[in-house]
Structure 1
Amino acid sequence: MKKKGIFICIEGLDGSGKTTHAHRLVRNLQKKELEAIYTTEPSRGELGKFIRSSVLEGEKRIPRVLETVLFAVDRVEHLEKMVKPALQQGKIVVSDRCIYSSLAYQGSAGLDLNWIKEINSFVLPADIAIYIDVPPEVVVKRIKRKKSVMERLETQRKVQEVYLMFVNSGKLIRIDGDRPKVEVEQNILSLILEFLEKHKTS
């Protein structure tokens, strides 16, 4: 597939504001008369809906290995049916989460990162991937779940560690998300516009 569009991934902890900023990025790009669309993982397809209802929101957790495989299958379906066709049309696709979510969440839960990468070896890499970094202590105050605050905090810290590992390796670009939303929004937009300008001339 000869890719014409640009694939952007926005990552972050639950409660980091990534969904809000993914939507704002799309809106800001559209204001500049660029054809940008929003999408998300898990997908809006049947498997994605199952993952949301049974895996992410269900009372009982399924085995982590099965959970990771389900995410991978949904990811390839999402790429083939939604992302790649949009890129072939020259659109800018902004994805709320991508493979780094599996690496961070399932990896921090104890699964081997190399195995997660292997079962996602088909994944189309993002042209640019941004990690909105917000302290775990802040995000646990934003999200309300049944688990104890300390358990959520420890989980988020582990997930953050994996994300920062990919920041340090150059796979993710870190944006400080612990600032006013408008500052984060402008930071992301400036970064993407600079990337698009370089991509245009490369």
Structure 2
Amino acid sequence: MNQSVGEKIFCPHCGDYITPKIERTATPTGELIIEYYCPRHGLIKTEKKKNYGGNPAKIPGGLYIALEGIDGSGKTTQASLLYEYLTNKGYSVIVVREPWVQAIKEVLYKYNLDVEAEVYLFAADRIILQREIVLPALSEGKIVISDRTLYASLAYQSSRGADQDFIRRVNKFVKPPDIVFLLDIPVEKAMERLRNRSSLTRFEDPTYMYRVREKYLKLAEEEKDKFIVLDASGTIEEVHKQFINKIEEILQNLKANKT
């Protein structure tokens, strides 16, 4: 979800024009939901958009993009902004987020599970998500933006002691992403954002997050051809510009390879 402040619109409850808070959320069906909130009266207007005009551009085999990083790095916000950018360029795009299945998510966040149980649950959730949403979309030539993928398990669960080879074996039926954007941010900065946003989950312990960040950076070093590391400590706009620069390079390379 991406939040911003927009131009003035009429609020029927106030009887006057107000400056609304705007929330944009990309959905798995390829829509962009835009909600306008009055500071006094809450939600006053909702729009649903498909940002592309005419027939959306397709990429043979699709393009599977992962956004990874510790909690508080801004993945969800940047996923929505990237969705807007790519749909405005004429591509058919969907956004998904792990964990996907609500029942699995509730178990993961409610109970203090053994790390092996976490690995299996995340893998089961991932397989369901891919077979229901991701793989069909890729087969249709769409771009799939995923807020977390297999690499989240390789960073988070291995930081709790799970062997990475074990994690990969459990996820052997999972398709890895084509590109991984790692939103790297110092833990202290991420914790500032998290404390301002909501109550913390058990996955958002600073000591744990230090280990997770180290795991992510090591994965990026080991798989340089797949990972693109971005500095996520700046403003939303600054990080988005980094995305645009890199995604344009990727799209140009895809076009060059096609010709």
| TM norm structure 1 | 0.90
In proportion to residue count, which structure has more strand? 2
1:27 to 1:146, Cα distance in 2 relative to 1, 3 A: closer
Q: Percent identity?
A: 36
User: Once superposed, which parts of structure 1, at least 4 consecutive aligned residues long, lie more than 4 Å away?
Assistant: none
Between the two proteins, the alignment pairs up a number of residues equal to 192
Residue of structure 2 equivalent to 1:152 = 205
Residue of structure 1 equivalent to 2:153 = 102
Alpha-carbon distance in structure 2 between the residues aligned to 1:86 and 1:120: 20
Residue of structure 2 equivalent to 1:134 = 185
Pair 1:39 & 2:90 matched: no
Alignment of 1:40-189 (within 5 A): 40-43=97-100, 48-56=101-109, 58=110, 60-144=111-195, 145=199, 152-169=205-222, 170=224, 171-189=226-244
Q: Which has the higher contact order (CA 8 A, sep 6+)?
A: 1
Residue of structure 1 equivalent to 2:15 = none
Residue of structure 2 equivalent to 1:28 = 85
Alpha-carbon distance in structure 1 between the residues aligned to 2:236 and 2:104: 29
Alpha-carbon distance in structure 2 between the residues aligned to 1:53 and 1:138: 27
Pick aligned residue for 1:194 from 242, 249, 258:
249
Q: Deviations over 1:52-71 (max 9, x none)?
A: 22212x1x312111111011
Residue of structure 2 equivalent to 1:12 = 69
Alpha-carbon distance in structure 1 between the residues aligned to 2:255 and 2:201: 47
Deviation at 1:189, TM superposition (A): 1.8
**Unmatched segments (≥5 aa) in structure 2:** 1-59
> Larger C-alpha radius of gyration, 1 or 2?
2
In proportion to residue count, which structure has more helix? 1
1:89 to 1:140, Cα distance in 2 relative to 1, 3 A: same
**Unmatched segments (≥5 aa) in structure 1:** none
1:195 to 1:157, Cα distance in 2 relative to 1, 3 A: same
Deviation at 1:147, TM superposition (A): 7.5
Name the amino acid aligned to 1:110: G
Q: Report the aligned-residue RMSD.
A: 1.7
